[in-house]
Chain A
Amino acid sequence: MNLFVFVKRVPDTESKIKIDHEKRTIVEEGLNFVLSPYDEYAVEEALRLREAKGGRVVIFSVGAETSKVILKKCLAMGADDAVLLKDEAPESYDGLRTSKVIAKALQTKFKDFDLLLFGRQSMGADNAQVPSMTAELLGLPQVNVVTKLEIEGNRGTAEREIEGASEKVSFSLPAVISAQKGLNEPRYETLKGIMAAKRKEIPVLTVEDLGLSAADLAPQLKMTGLESPPVRQAGTVIDDEPVIAAKKIVEFLREKAKVI
C-alpha cells in the first residue's frame, strides 16, 4: 500500500498563548513546537498498515522550513520518506489554502496512493477542515475522527466517533481518513530510527514549484480581531467539613448560580 500521512507543526498543549495585538498573530517566540498530537495517531496507523500489508509510508507537511523537525520525527518513528510542501505564509486558519497545496501536489507529483491519513484536527487552528477539503478536491471518500480502521483489498471499514456513540462507515480506496485518539498507541522513535532520519534528505517543493497562483491561494477568511479569552476571577473557596461543604455547594448552585 502507498500510505501518505499529512502532519503539522504546532505549539505543544502546555503552551500559554500570547497575542501580538499589532500584527494580530500569536507570539511564537518561547513556544515549544511539536508534531500535532492527533497526527501521531495517523503516522502510527500508517506504519501498522505497512507492517501488515507491505508498501511505503510517505509523510508530508505544508509549512515553512521549520516543519522539517517534525518530518524527521516521523522518519525516526519509521516512515520511509518525507516531503516538505513549502508554504511560508503565516497561519491563516484557512483550511482551503492548505488543502489546495496538498491536492495540487498529489495531482501533479505524487499520483500513486491508496490512503491519505491526517490527524482529526491540528492542535491550534482546531479547524478540522483539511481532511474533508482535500477529499473533496480530489474526489475521494472520507472518514473523519476514526477510532478503528480495517482495510481489506480495495475496501475499508472504519468506526468514527460521534456524539455519545460511534458509526460504522464502509468506504472504497483510495480514501481520506483522519485519526482520533484511541485509534492506536503511537510508538516512540528508536535510536536507530533517529540516526537514519538524520541522514535522510527531505525534498522541498514550494507552492510555486506546484504551479499554484496567487489567485489559487487567496485567503478565504479575513481576521478582524484576535483576543485572549476573558480571565475567570476566583470565586468563593471554602474549607469546611464535607457534609457542610456539600450543603454549601448545593446552596450556591441553587441560590447564586441558579443552574439547578
Chain B
Amino acid sequence: MILVFIEVRDGQIKKYNLEILSEGKRRADELGVNLEAVLIGPNLEGQAEDLFTYGAKKVHLLEHPQLSSYSPSAYTAALLQLLEEVKPAVVLFPASSMGKDLAPRVAAGAGVGVASDCIRTSVEEGQLEVVRPIYAGKALAAFRFNSSPAVATLRPNVFPAMEPSDQKGEISKKELSIPEDRFGDRVDEYLKGEGAELDVTEADIIVSGGRGMKGPENFALLKELAAILPHAAVGASRAAVDSEWIGHQHQVGQTGKTVSPNLYMAFGISGAIQHVAGMSSSKVIVAVNKDSEAPILKMADFGVVGDLFQVIPPLKEELKRLLSE
C-alpha cells in the first residue's frame, strides 16, 4: 500500500497535496497496490471526501485534542502509530515546509531513510525509483530504497494533479494516545506574510529581479507585473537579496529556493551559476537584460536585449489588455 501524508494548515489543503496524491495513485496502479491517505487534526471528514476523488481508497483520520496545531514531535508519534498498524510499502509527503520538516523525523523513527524533494517517480523492476536534484539541481540522482517503508518527499508544482473522479472510499478514524513529552514543540501562531503572498515554490509564474533592478523601490514594478499575471509570485537573485532590496524568502538559487514554474521571467539577472541551478527546471524562461553577453540570454527560451525599465511598462499594458479579453 502507498500512504500519502496530506498537509492541513489553517484548515486548508493546498493544491500540491493533490499533486502528490495523484502521483501516488499512478505508482499504486502500476505496482498493483492500494492508495491511502492520512490527515492529522480535528474535524477533517469533509476534506477526506475530496481525497477519495483523487484515488485514495481509504483515508486515515488521526485525531487528538492537542493535534489542532502542528507539532513535529507529536505528528511524528501519531504517524509512527499508524505506520506500525498499516505497514505501508511506500510513504509519500509533499516536499513543503511541513513535509520536509516531518518526513525525516518519521523515517528516523521507523529506522529508514528518506529521498528528499523528488521530481520524478517510477517503477523499475517492480520497485519504486525516484529522481531527485542534488547540488540545487546541478546533478540529478536516481535512488531505490533498501528498507521498508520507502519514504520520499515530492516537490510541489512538478507532478500533474489528476482529474477528480466520483470515487468513494472508507474513512478510518483513530483515537491516539500521545505521550506528554511529545508536545515539546508546537506552533502557537501563524504569521501571515506581506498580504498572504504566494510563495515562489508554489507559483505558476515567477517574475524575478536581480542586480539590474538597481534598488528596493523598483521591485514595486515586479509586484505590479506579478499582480497582473495569474498565480504569480515575485522572485529575486542573491545579489538583490544580499543588497536588502527584497526579503530572502523571495530568493531563487542555491542559497534560496529551487523552483520549477511554468514561466520564469528574469529581469536584470545575469544568470550566475548558483542562480541558474535554482531555476533551470522552469518550463519556459524569458529574460530581459541590458548585456547581450549575459549568460541568462544563452539559456532563455525568449530573450530581450534591452532596458528592463523601458520594457516592463509596455509589457504590463500588453498583458493587461490580453488577459482582460
Contact = CB atoms under 8 A, between A and B. Distances in A.
A163 B157 CA distance: 13
Contacts of A126: 116-117, 133-136, 258
Interface of A: 11, 13-17, 19, 26, 37-38, 93-96, 99, 123-137, 139-145, 157, 159-172, 175, 180-182, 218-229, 232-240, 242-243, 245-250, 252-254, 256-257, 259-260
B186 to A, nearest CB: 6
Given A127-B116, A170-B188, A229-B140, A165 B147 contact: no
Contact of B141 (A169, A226, A242, A243): A226
B46 interface: no
Interface of B: 9, 14, 70, 72-73, 76, 96-98, 100-109, 111-117, 124, 129, 131, 133-147, 181, 184-193, 196-199, 201-202, 205, 229-230, 233, 241, 247-249, 251, 253-256, 258, 262-263, 272-274, 277, 280-281, 283-286, 288, 292, 297-307, 310-311, 314-315, 317-319, 322-323
Contacts, number: 304
Contacts of B147: 220
A239 B288 CA distance: 10
A128 B197 contact: no
Contact of A164 (B129, B188, B198): B198
Interface centre among B98, B184, B186 (most CB of A within 10 A): B184
A116 B175 CA distance: 33
B322 A254 contact: yes
A242 B310 contact: yes
Nearest to B143: A221
Given A17-B135, A126-B117, A129-B104, A222 B188 contact: no
B228 to A, nearest CB: 10
A19 B145 contact: no
B323 A165 contact: no
A133 B302 contact: no
Contacts of A26: 135, 139
B116 A163 contact: no
Given A246-B314, A257-B302, A132 B105 contact: yes
Contacts of A172: 184-185
Contacts of A238: 302-305
Contacts of A167: 70, 187, 189-191
A155 to B, nearest CB: 10
A-B complex: 10 closest residue pairs judged by Cβ atoms: A220-B113, A141-B184, A225-B142, A141-B185, A246-B314, A133-B108, A242-B310, A129-B104, A235-B301, A17-B138
27 contacts: A15-B135, A95-B116, A96-B113, A124-B134, A126-B135, A128-B117, A133-B108, A139-B181, A157-B188, A162-B98, A164-B197, A164-B249, A170-B186, A175-B184, A181-B241, A181-B251, A182-B249, A219-B113, A221-B113, A221-B143, A221-B145, A228-B138, A229-B138, A234-B300, A235-B302, A247-B314, A249-B304
Given A237-B297, A238-B305, A259 B191 contact: no
A259 B284 contact: yes
A96 B304 CA distance: 47
B184 A260 contact: no
A225 B114 CA distance: 17
B252 to A, nearest CB: 13
Contact of B143 (A95, A141, A222): A222
Nearest to B272: A14
A165 B185 contact: no
Given A13-B254, A221-B113, A234-B298, A165 B190 contact: yes
A33 B183 CA distance: 39
Given A136-B109, A220-B146, A234-B298, A168 B199 contact: no
Nearest to B144: A222
B184 A232 contact: no
B293 to A, nearest CB: 11
A201 B135 CA distance: 32
A257 B263 contact: yes
Given A96-B113, A249-B304, A259-B263, A220 B255 contact: no
Nearest to A37: B255
Contact of B139 (A171, A175, A226, A234): A226
Given A163-B202, A245-B311, 19 more contacts: A17-B139, A128-B104, A129-B114, A136-B105, A159-B191, A165-B190, A166-B191, A166-B193, A171-B185, A180-B248, A220-B147, A224-B129, A224-B142, A228-B138, A238-B304, A240-B304, A249-B286, A252-B286, A256-B302
A107 to B, nearest CB: 14
Interface centre among B136, B256, B301 (most CB of A within 10 A): B301
A125 B134 contact: yes
Nearest to A157: B188
Given A144-B101, A165-B190, A165-B196, A239 B135 contact: no
